[in-house]
Structure 1
Amino acid sequence: MKDFKVLKFLDRFEGFFEKIGVDYCIMRKILQVKFIMDGRRVPTAIGNSSKKKSKDENNFIKSLWVYGLIGIIMIPLVCFGKNFMFQMSFVFGILMFMIMTSLISDFSSVLLDIRDKNIIGSKPVNSKTLSMAKTIHVLIYMFFITISISGLALITSLITNGILFFIIFLFEIILMDLFIVVITALLYLFILKFFDGEKLKDMINYIQIILSITIAVGYQLIGRLFNFVNLNIIFTPKWWQYFIVPMWFGAPFEMLLHRNYNIYFIIFSVLVIVVPMISIIVYIKLIPVFERNLQKLNDNSKKAKGENKKFLNILSKIVCTNKQERIFFRFASDMMKNEREFKLKVYPSLGFSLIFPFIFMLNDLKDKGWSGIASSKMYLNIYFCALLLPTAVMMIKYSGKYKGAWIYKIIPNKDVSSIFKGTLKAFIVRLLLPVYSIEAVIFMAIFGVKIFPDLILVFLNIMLFTVMCFKVTKKALPFSEEFGVSQGSEGLIVIPLMIILGVLALIHYNYTSVHYGVYVFSVIMLVVNIVLWKKAFNIDLEKISN
């Protein structure tokens, strides 16, 4: 069995693991098997590789260059200027945003995996060893992601700011990863303590949406903690800043490199060490409790309240044009409701779609005020709610129950347009429409009822954008492929799709300056949607690989 360099590195800490009650030899074997199997997994960041994989190939490792490209944006923050409190708070805000997003989208399913317990639990392996293997597994990959994002910034910091800056930066990165993974696990433990079965699964998805929103808002908040006066950045300490975690990571640079021993900086610096360490100790103590409560994910004895099937049937008759389309509308609705892994992948995007349209208004709120914003055309920010579309359309083809896709082979009608249309309409009704409706109501409260025609036009453009996302992404029958297994690389397609969405918003913006322009454009888009929704899904079933 192949050995791994990271396991040889872990061997140096064998004594530590033994002291905390972990059987290191067994944990090492578990990790070794997991790393071999990880060659099959593909991270959300880039989609999937189109090349045939060798038996030792790990697509995750090959994908790290994408994270490296993202990390380029941190280089100017590290090397330009000497206001380390501002610069490094921003750097760690970006890092925490990226790492937490990766953890939610790619690794929550690992933390919440109960298959290990079912398979290995029957062997003489204690729960602490099993849970520690799971945590180390996640931590190693999170560290790879972190180094890929921050690697160029780390090298730049060594060249421009010296060895001490570099050491502080690297040490805090390690603490940050430990803190993020452990706090996430403790949060899940808290939920597991009070909820059972299906209720718990729904709660976890809601928590992920809240986490996504919190991360996005927190990232925006960091820049507003500082005042810019004559190009000088002034930090004004407030007691509530103790709860802004990226501030903790910025303080040690200011304190150790600039010898600024402000009481706030001292407390921030203490928090950056003490809080992660305490959280690690608490987690280690609660590992057995976490593993016991994790079994509640198997508990379906308390059935969740069933959705109003009568209402769903009525809704399907309104939005679907034929019987077969209605059947797959209801089928896809049930899958999106009950497919836990699908929700783990897609629901975080709902959080970003909810908050992004409002984030960009915050930049002008301080200067223009609410009256200034209300008289502007910033209601077009609602286009940002379509951010979830590319990811969701790509994910619709995946399912944890993909082996049931044989049912498609026995359907009498080989024209699959009804399957795709019914599935996409279910996605629009179940996920997109609630988000859009909430934001539309809030935007009308801010900008007035006068924007209602614009909101209709936005929705028509989003319907067109949905078809475009479908046409560009790889075709596969809904819920017919295993998560992490694909024959085409799709992740980078998101970039041109976002450009297309921006073009639609720009055309809308130009039409707002034309008398009755919004109404004319709406009629045009209505006709275009009717034509495309009839023609775009005519695909031969024989050309689709399951």
Structure 2
Amino acid sequence: MKEMRTLWVLDRFKGVFGKFGVDYPVMRRILQIKLTMDGRRVPTIIGKARNKDQADGGKVNGTEKNQFFSSLWLYLIFGAFSSMFVGLGDNFIFQMSLIFGIFMFMIMTSLISDFSSVLLDIRDRNILSTKPVNRRTIAMAKMLHICFYMFFLTGAIAIVPLGVGLVRHGIGFFLLFVAELILMDLLIVVITALIYLAVLKFFDGEKLKDFINYVQIGLTIVIALGYQLLIRLFDFVDLQQAVFQPKWWEFVIVPVWFGAPFETLLHGDNSIPYLLFSLLALCVPILTFLLYIKLMPSLERNLQKLADPGSRKKEGAGKWLKSISHLLGSSPQEEVFFRFAWTMMGNEREFKLKVYPSIGFSLIFPFIFLFTSGRERGLSGLPGTKLHLFIYFCALLVPNVILMLKYSRSYKAAWIYRVLPIGDRVPVYRGTLMAAVVRLILPLYAVEAVVFAILFGGRIVPDLIVAGLAILAYSVLSFAYLSKALPFSERLETAQQGEGMRMIPLMLLLGGFALVHYAATLVSFGVYVYAALLLAANWVLWQKAFSAKLP
């Protein structure tokens, strides 16, 4: 088995792990196996020939290929854009609070959407629970597995800002920046784990799985709102003269903690607020990590609750689902795949772990843009404006939902498609997309529409209907544009590989729908004409966009 340099670095701290009751040799072996298996993940595309990487066993030039690293360039670009704040001047409390706000936003959302399934993975227990391995060792291996990827993720985001900081502000700034990035990552991982531990403590079975998804939505909303609140802590004269006046409630804004040490250590500002912020940046990550180590056995013990199937669903649940599928489906096969996709989306925990965070963002983004643009008017000034068109931002989740419909942990069961009497993919695709729209997209839009109707008044109801029709058409067009595969037939580990750039045209398409809607509001009866056109477009799209023969 391949020796990894990451593990060589870890060996220098094996004595520290031993003091916390971790069996280091066993933990090292578990971590080595996890990282080796990660490197052997190979995309599985049903209906397509294997590419060269697959034929070589997932290797490139004889080296095991890890698909995670191929996506880091996108984070590198975001980090490069944020580096301008580092070189802006020497108002460190503003610059670095904003930088750490951006970094925490990106890293924590990535952790919640991509690595929660690792943190909550119970498959290890089937093997390790029968061996003489204590729970603390298993939990530490799991945490270090996540930290390994967090290190590279943070490195990709921070490497350009670190370089700019070294050139612009010197070696002291650079070293302090690196130290705080480590503390930030530690805090993010530990706080997420402790939140899940609290949930695991009080819930079990299916209720636990559902509640964890609600926690994810809540976390993403809090992160998005906190990021917006961070900007509003400063009074701007210009970007280089942002004035910060500490208030008691600002002590809960975590990025400010990490901005304060730059003022204290590099500018010599030893005022009480800055000293307290700096102590929080140092002490809270370390103390929460010590608390996590103490509670690790409890986390591993309570993870077993995820294996509990919970109480059986009532008979009535199947009846109303069958009624909905019969109402919306145009053929018996379409009804079957509607119910199949609906059930999979409800039962597939990994699907929900990746999709539900995007629901949180889509729920809050329209209101962020709404109140950012209309804060001078206040709530009473919203009626009569066209700011209600920000409701289109709730459709940001659509591409991610559609993309994830083809992935599953149980992808090997896709052989069933080959033995079923299916002549073409039309009922498969249409029934699956219809289930996703009815279960995830339309309920979110309905909630947003009700709130917007309250804020703007009843006059926007026709606009809300038009926006709903536009989102339906957008869903079908997104499906037609993204790469296709049979529902839940591909390996979950390959999710979102190489699809990042394909999302950009879809974002532009969504903006195009909103712009056409805006133009329609400028013409008498334009909204009603646009509604009629969208009705016709939806009829054509839902009839014609799914025609594809099975190979």
TM-score, length-normalised on structure 1? 0.95
- 2:65 is aligned with 1:72: no
**Residue number in structure 2 paired with 1:133:** 141
**Residue number in structure 1 paired with 2:90:** 82
- 2:473 corresponds, among 464, 467, 472, to 464
The CA deviation string for residues 214-241 of structure 1, in whole angstroms up to 9 with x for no partner, is 1111111100111124663111211111
**Residue number in structure 2 paired with 1:532:** 541
- State whether residues 50 and 486 of structure 1, in contact with CA within 8 Å, keep that contact through their aligned partners in structure 2: no
**Residue number in structure 2 paired with 1:15:** 15
- Cα distance in 2 between the residues matched to 1:366 and 1:530: 39
1:87 and 1:323, CA in 2 relative to 1: closer, same or farther beyond 3 A? same
Task: Indicate the larger mover: 428-437 or 258-267.
Answer: 258-267
1:484 and 1:380, CA in 2 relative to 1: closer, same or farther beyond 3 A? same
1:516 and 1:51, CA in 2 relative to 1: closer, same or farther beyond 3 A? farther
Letter in 2 for 1:284: I
* 1:88, distance to aligned residue in structure 2 (A): 0.8
Letter in 2 for 1:258: H
- 1:118 corresponds, among 108, 126, 134, to 126
- Cα distance in 2 between the residues matched to 1:522 and 1:74: 41
* 1:444, distance to aligned residue in structure 2 (A): 0.6
- State whether residues 472 and 538 of structure 2, in contact with CA within 8 Å, keep that contact through their aligned partners in structure 1: yes
Task: Indicate the larger mover: 448-457 or 481-490.
Answer: 481-490
- 2:370 is aligned with 1:364: no
* 1:171, distance to aligned residue in structure 2 (A): 0.5
- State whether residues 206 and 309 of structure 2, in contact with CA within 8 Å, keep that contact through their aligned partners in structure 1: yes
1:371 and 1:451, CA in 2 relative to 1: closer, same or farther beyond 3 A? same
**Residue number in structure 2 paired with 1:480:** 489
Where structure 2 has 5 or more consecutive residues not aligned to the other structure, the ranges are 44-49
Number of residues of Structure 1 aligned to a counterpart in Structure 2: 537
* 1:203, distance to aligned residue in structure 2 (A): 0.7
Where structure 1 has 5 or more consecutive residues not aligned to the other structure, the ranges are 44-48
- Cα distance in 2 between the residues matched to 1:437 and 1:355: 14
**Residue number in structure 2 paired with 1:298:** 307
1:173 and 1:50, CA in 2 relative to 1: closer, same or farther beyond 3 A? farther
* Pairing of 1:162-181 with structure 2 (within 5 A): 162-181=170-189
- State whether residues 361 and 373 of structure 1, in contact with CA within 8 Å, keep that contact through their aligned partners in structure 2: no
* Pairing of 1:103-252 with structure 2 (within 5 A): 103-229=111-237, 232-252=241-261
- State whether residues 425 and 548 of structure 2, in contact with CA within 8 Å, keep that contact through their aligned partners in structure 1: yes
- 2:280 corresponds, among 262, 271, 284, to 271
- State whether residues 67 and 494 of structure 2, in contact with CA within 8 Å, keep that contact through their aligned partners in structure 1: no
- Cα distance in 1 between the residues matched to 2:315 and 2:87: 56
- State whether residues 342 and 395 of structure 1, in contact with CA within 8 Å, keep that contact through their aligned partners in structure 2: yes
* 1:304, distance to aligned residue in structure 2 (A): 5.5
- Cα distance in 2 between the residues matched to 1:359 and 1:406: 45
- 2:135 is aligned with 1:91: no
- State whether residues 207 and 310 of structure 2, in contact with CA within 8 Å, keep that contact through their aligned partners in structure 1: no
SS in 1 for 2:96: helix
* 1:82, distance to aligned residue in structure 2 (A): 1.7
- Cα distance in 2 between the residues matched to 1:281 and 1:294: 20
CA root-mean-square deviation: 1.8
**Residue number in structure 1 paired with 2:523:** 514
* 1:305, distance to aligned residue in structure 2 (A): 5.8
* 1:50, distance to aligned residue in structure 2 (A): 7.2
* Pairing of 1:319-334 with structure 2 (within 5 A): 319-334=328-343
**Residue number in structure 2 paired with 1:336:** 345
1:536 and 1:161, CA in 2 relative to 1: closer, same or farther beyond 3 A? same
SS in 2 for 1:118: helix
* 1:93, distance to aligned residue in structure 2 (A): 0.7
- State whether residues 183 and 285 of structure 2, in contact with CA within 8 Å, keep that contact through their aligned partners in structure 1: yes
**Residue number in structure 2 paired with 1:46:** none
- State whether residues 67 and 497 of structure 2, in contact with CA within 8 Å, keep that contact through their aligned partners in structure 1: no
**Residue number in structure 1 paired with 2:356:** 347
SS in 1 for 2:268: coil
- Cα distance in 1 between the residues matched to 2:316 and 2:292: 37
Letter in 2 for 1:35: L
1:497 and 1:20, CA in 2 relative to 1: closer, same or farther beyond 3 A? same
- Cα distance in 2 between the residues matched to 1:394 and 1:14: 42
SS in 2 for 1:374: coil
- Cα distance in 2 between the residues matched to 1:190 and 1:230: 43
- 2:291 corresponds, among 278, 282, 296, to 282
**Residue number in structure 1 paired with 2:47:** none
**Residue number in structure 2 paired with 1:38:** 38
SS in 1 for 2:502: helix
- Cα distance in 1 between the residues matched to 2:89 and 2:540: 55
- Cα distance in 2 between the residues matched to 1:151 and 1:20: 32
SS in 2 for 1:440: helix
- State whether residues 50 and 489 of structure 1, in contact with CA within 8 Å, keep that contact through their aligned partners in structure 2: no
**Residue number in structure 2 paired with 1:26:** 26
Task: Indicate the larger mover: 401-410 or 162-171.
Answer: 401-410
SS in 1 for 2:385: coil
- Cα distance in 2 between the residues matched to 1:308 and 1:120: 37
- Cα distance in 2 between the residues matched to 1:253 and 1:306: 61
